[in-house]
Amino acid sequence: MESFEFYTASFEMTATSMTPVIGQQFDQDLIGSTGKTLHHFYASGQLWALLIGVVLGYAFKSMSSYG
């Protein structure tokens, strides 16, 4: 039977390469980005489409249900 050498140096890793990333820090203004999103939602006409869809959906549900 042949003998072999086990090289542990090739399997060694530093602690920084094995450390998992648990959390990340973002520098983000949530209130400012929410305001921009809502402004775009209003300016693009999607707000009116949402309101019309809710009204028509409620009307269709009321007409199609019994009792």
59 versus 30: which is more confidently predicted?
A: 59
pLDDT of residue 25: 78
Structure confidence by residue, pLDDT tens digits, 5-47: 656 556 555 555 666 777 777 778 888 899 999 999 999 999 9
Flag whether pLDDT at 60 surpasses 80. Answer: yes
47 touches 41 (CB < 8 A): yes
* pTM of the predicted structure, to 2 decimals: 0.50
Rounded CA-CA distance 36/43 in Å is 10
